[in-house]
């Protein structure tokens, strides 16, 4: 069903409702209207990396891990699997008239905010720090989730619009002050792509204000940019209880009725919260009109018709057995393998099982289910921790010794014990092992959403980049045993790995790898699969490199504006092969003679790549661009394209990549995007073209200069 037809049906249905009935449908827990055969519908559902909070589902790696895969096809496949499971659940549950929260087909995902500061607790919900990578993966997930059938398979929601990335503790009252350049260059591009390329059905506003306006009541964001400039046709939903913040925390209104009116007038159709209970009061006071209430109701019922919730759909026969089916579990394992980033390897990896008698597995995240899941997760019927994955792989031929080593963040594991009560055991395990696999990191109790269930403190933000102190003491104790040590990091963000880089033989970042993560980890450690992920965020050397957390200027932030050198750079990741770019050249004549709003390809690159080892590997080809003439260009080259390549062994492959005109544009201080200069440097490699990546990989991306005729400003 196309949107025009769905809207006509919605108009006809809403026209039969009373004012009170229309107003009731603007709440996330919309009640039934029996006389019109409209069942109750709860709009609130989550699907960040699998159907969440509604019982059994495939738990895929957390979003930041999926970003590390740099794989649009993978993200789209996961989106499709998630919506299949969502449909399977909805079909069965609605037949039993279970229409509770988390059981609908409107999924509030993906999170396409920019992970601008490593302290932000919710950063692992995002696709990282780069606007282009975030846009490409966000669009891919949306297309997979919504499908391309006659009806919409599920409705995706791009959140949180906009300029939202902490601090969590201040989000209900915080005003993010942002320049027009940073707004248009960094914070909005992914949302624009989700709307114009992904045709996302919903957009969720953020808690904070942007330049004085609360996001869920922002005329600039919702009316001017989202609907007028971008042509958004779907519905807008508030973040949960964010409209209440208007009068309770932002102090831009005095009453709940005024807050409801401001949000509705700006274009927020659906209230996650209770403030829209005051919509009728606002209407009676003349703050909003019945026509505005009607329009929001029509938008919401248009979505329900697009989903086939009244007329049926081709997805109504998806059986419950599609949930956590073998194909989805295999996809989950594939995603965990592709997402892992090898940060250091002195040659110890891959491990050779036939050369080992004893493996020591140590650390609070070694046998932790929480460390597999991240946040906003479903419930798996089986969890394979790193310890279990290694034990399964090793079989009966290798002895596995285990010690928790320490609590994740407390000073002891047993209340009556002395501090560091598992350190001695960890040292004994290390002494008696041929190799130690040390599993450290965080989980959703240490980084997550403010006030979310399970957080060990009110804000889910980090105060620094250090591992919790008990884990730091454990690292030092195990290192003192002078055994070969491999660090497996399970966390969702940048952590200081300077001690590990100096004292350990290998570092493998697994992120939060999903319910099958332990099996994937074992396959990676023992060389069944080569690591191939790349960092979607910068690992900084110190917080001293960064501005204050509340400063939303991009100066000094992310790889594009970094001052100094990273500990591990964006785009970096090793593998077990020897991959390199051999040559890069233009494949076609260069032209920018395009209509002003066109984003057609302006040049095509032919890139010869090679794996010089016999080891089968994947690697991610990365293309970076820098305008050599414009004062508005970012200080460092920006990601312009990426392509995952599989090498079956020692072989060469020639890859053709086309670059659209938008990748050769800059944004000025007024927020205008345009092509400014005519001379550009293009870099092709398996990392970004920075000195740190060159030192860590021993390879430098190839550089190609080209001249493009700049069109006149329109």
Tokens of 575: 């593998």
Residue 503 has pLDDT above 80, yes or no: yes
The pLDDT assigned to 596 comes to: 46
- Biggest distance spanned by C-alpha atoms of the chain: 79
* pLDDT tens per residue across span 458-477: 579 999 999 999 999 999 99
The pLDDT assigned to 589 comes to: 59
Helices 290-306 and 256-266, packing angle to 10 deg: 60
Pick the CATH number of 40-85+115-145+307-536 from 3.40.50.1700, 3.30.1440.10, 3.40.50.1820, 2.40.128.50: 3.40.50.1700
Residue 110 has pLDDT above 70, yes or no: yes
Parallel, antiparallel or unpaired: strands 679-685 and 702-707: antiparallel
Mean pLDDT, rounded, for 326-350:
98
The residues pairing with 618 across neighbouring beta strands, listed in sequence order, are 646
* pLDDT tens per residue across span 12-44: 999 999 999 999 999 999 999 999 999 999 999
DSSP character for 52? B
Residue 453 has pLDDT above 70, yes or no: no
Q: What angle do CA 475, 448, 405 make, to 5 degrees?
A: 20
Q: What's the pTM?
A: 0.97
The pLDDT assigned to 601 comes to: 73
CA atoms within 13 A on the CB side of 612: 6
Confidence of residue 457 (pLDDT cuts 50, 70, 90): low
Residue 712 has pLDDT above 90, yes or no: no
The pLDDT assigned to 372 comes to: 98
Mean pLDDT, rounded, for 197-203:
98
Kindly report the average pLDDT of the chain as a whole number: 96
The pLDDT assigned to 591 comes to: 56
The pLDDT assigned to 594 comes to: 45
Residue 523's H or E segment, with its range, is helix 517-525
* pLDDT tens per residue across span 398-441: 999 999 999 999 999 999 999 999 999 999 999 999 999 999 99
Domain extents for the chain? Answer: 1-28+156-305, 40-85+115-145+307-536, 579-707
Residue 656 has pLDDT above 90, yes or no: yes
Q: Which of 130, 182, 239, 367 is catalytic?
A: 239
Residue 325 has pLDDT above 90, yes or no: yes
Confidence of residue 701 (pLDDT cuts 50, 70, 90): very high
The pLDDT assigned to 450 comes to: 85
| CA 655 – CA 663 distance, rounded (Å) | 19
* pLDDT tens per residue across span 565-594: 999 999 999 999 999 999 999 987 555 554
The residues pairing with 647 across neighbouring beta strands, listed in sequence order, are 617
Q: For 204-265, give the secondary structure using H, E and C.
A: EECCCEECCEEHHHCHHHHHHHHHHHCCCCCEEECCCCCCCHHHHCCCCCCCHHHHHHHHHH
The pLDDT assigned to 709 comes to: 76
- Domain 1-28+156-305 sits in CATH at 3.20.20.300
Q: Does domain 579-707 have CATH number 2.60.40.10?
A: yes
> Is 523 marked active-site?
no
Is the Cα torsion angle 182, 185, 190, 195 positive or negative in sign? positive
Residue 492 has pLDDT above 80, yes or no: yes
């Amino acid at each position: 069903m196309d949107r025009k037809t769905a809207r006509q049906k919605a108009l006809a249905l809403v026209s039969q409702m009373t004012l009170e009935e229309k107003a009731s449908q603007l709440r996330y827990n919309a009640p039934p209207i029996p006389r019109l055969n409209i069942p109750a519908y709860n709009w609130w559902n989550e699907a960040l990396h699998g159907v969440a909070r509604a019982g059994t589902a495939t738990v895929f790696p957390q979003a930041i891990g999926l970003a590390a895969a740099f794989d649009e096809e993978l993200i789209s496949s996961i989106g499709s699997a998630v919506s299949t499971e969502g449909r399977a659940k909805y079909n069965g549950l609605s037949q039993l008239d279970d229409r509770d929260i988390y059981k609908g087909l409107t999924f509030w995902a993906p999170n396409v905010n920019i992970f601008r500061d490593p302290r932000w607790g919710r950063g692992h919900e995002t696709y990282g720090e780069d606007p282009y990578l975030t846009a490409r993966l966000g669009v891919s997930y949306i297309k997979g989730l919504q499908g391309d059938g006659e009806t919409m398979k599920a409705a995706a929601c791009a959140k949180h619009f906009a300029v939202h990335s902490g601090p969590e503790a201040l989000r209900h009252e915080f005003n993010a002050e942002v320049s027009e350049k940073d707004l248009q260059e960094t914070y909005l591009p992914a949302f624009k792509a989700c709307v114009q390329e992904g045709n996302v059905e919903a957009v969720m506003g953020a808690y904070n204000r942007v330049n004085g306006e609360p996001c869920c009541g922002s005329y600039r964001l919702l009316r001017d940019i989202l609907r007028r400039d971008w042509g958004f046709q779907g519905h807008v939903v508030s973040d949960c209880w964010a409209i209440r913040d208007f009068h309770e925390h932002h102090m831009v209104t005095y009453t709940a009725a005024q807050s409801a009116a401001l949000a509705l007038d700006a274009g927020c159709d659906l209230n996650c919260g209770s403030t829209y209970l005051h919509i009728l009061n606002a209407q009676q006071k003349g703050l909003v009109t019945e026509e505005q209430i009607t329009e929001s109701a029509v938008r919401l019922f248009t979505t329900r018709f697009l989903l086939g919730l009244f007329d049926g759909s081709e997805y109504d026969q998806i059986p419950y057995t599609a949930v956590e089916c073998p194909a989805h579990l295999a996809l989950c394992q594939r995603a965990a393998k592709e997402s892992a980033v090898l940060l250091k390897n002195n040659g110890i990896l891959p491990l050779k099982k036939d050369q080992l008698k004893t493996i020591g597995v140590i650390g609070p995240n070694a046998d932790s289910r929480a460390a597999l899941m991240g946040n906003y997760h479903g419930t798996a019927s089986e969890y394979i921790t790193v310890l279990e994955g290694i034990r399964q792989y090793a079989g009966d031929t290798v002895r596995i010794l285990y010690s928790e080593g320490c609590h994740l963040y407390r000073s002891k594991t047993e209340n009556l014990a002395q501090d560091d009560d598992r350190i001695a055991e960890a040292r004994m395990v290390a002494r008696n092992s041929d190799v130690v696999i040390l599993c450290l990191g965080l989980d959703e109790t240490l980084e997550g959403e403010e006030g979310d269930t399970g957080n060990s403190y009110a804000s889910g933000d980090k105060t620094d980049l250090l591992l919790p102190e008990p884990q730091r003491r454990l690292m030092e104790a195990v290192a003192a045993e002078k055994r070969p040590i491999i660090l497996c990091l399970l966390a969702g963000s940048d952590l200081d790995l300077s001690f590990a880089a100096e004292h350990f033989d290998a570092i493998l970042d697994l992120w939060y790898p999903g319910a099958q993560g332990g099996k994937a980890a074992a396959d990676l450690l023992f060389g069944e699969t080569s690591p191939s992920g790349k960092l979607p965020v910068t690992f900084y050397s110190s917080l001293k490199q960064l501005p204050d957390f509340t400063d939303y200027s991009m100066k000094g932030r992310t790889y594009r504006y970094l001052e100094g050198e990273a500990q591990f750079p964006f785009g970096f990741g090793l593998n077990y092969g020897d991959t390199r770019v051999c040559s890069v050249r233009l494949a076609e004549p260069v032209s920018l003679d395009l209509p002003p709003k066109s984003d057609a390809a302006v040049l095509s690159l032919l890139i010869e790549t090679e794996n010089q080892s016999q080891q089968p590997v994947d690697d991610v080809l990365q293309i970076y661009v820098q305008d050599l003439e414009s004062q508005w260009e970012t200080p460092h080259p920006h990601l312009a394209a990426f392509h995952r390549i599989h090498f079956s062994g020692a072989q060469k492959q020639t890859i053709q990549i086309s670059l659209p005109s938008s990748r050769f544009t800059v944004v000025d201080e007024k927020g205008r995007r345009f092509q400014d200069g005519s001379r550009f440097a293009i870099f092709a490699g398996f990392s970004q073209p920075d000195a740190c990546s060159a030192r860590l990989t021993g390879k430098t991306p190839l550089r190609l200069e080209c001249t493009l005729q700049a069109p006149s400003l329109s």
